Amino acid sequence: MKPFLDFGVFRRLKDRSAFKRVRVAFDTIEWDSGIDLDPEFVYDKCQRTSAQQGAAADAKKPRG
């Protein structure tokens, strides 16, 4: 989430008390300020992060 906190409406979530008011509604992550995240977006970001971490771990393994 951190990379998005400097853009548009997501700036509101820099306030920890606002960020903590998150809930799941109809399979969507949403805040009482009206901000929400599409579940497909969240899934895609998790997949990319996981793949990037896996590639970084593979690069650190000794070869031979």
CA–CA separation, 44 vs 40, rounded Å? 6
Per-residue model confidence (pLDDT) at position 11: 92
- pLDDT tens-digit map of 3-20: 888 989 989 999 999 999
Which residues of the chain carry a pLDDT beneath 50? none
Q: Give the start-to-end residue ranges of the domains of the chain.
A: 6-59
Per-residue model confidence (pLDDT) at position 27: 84
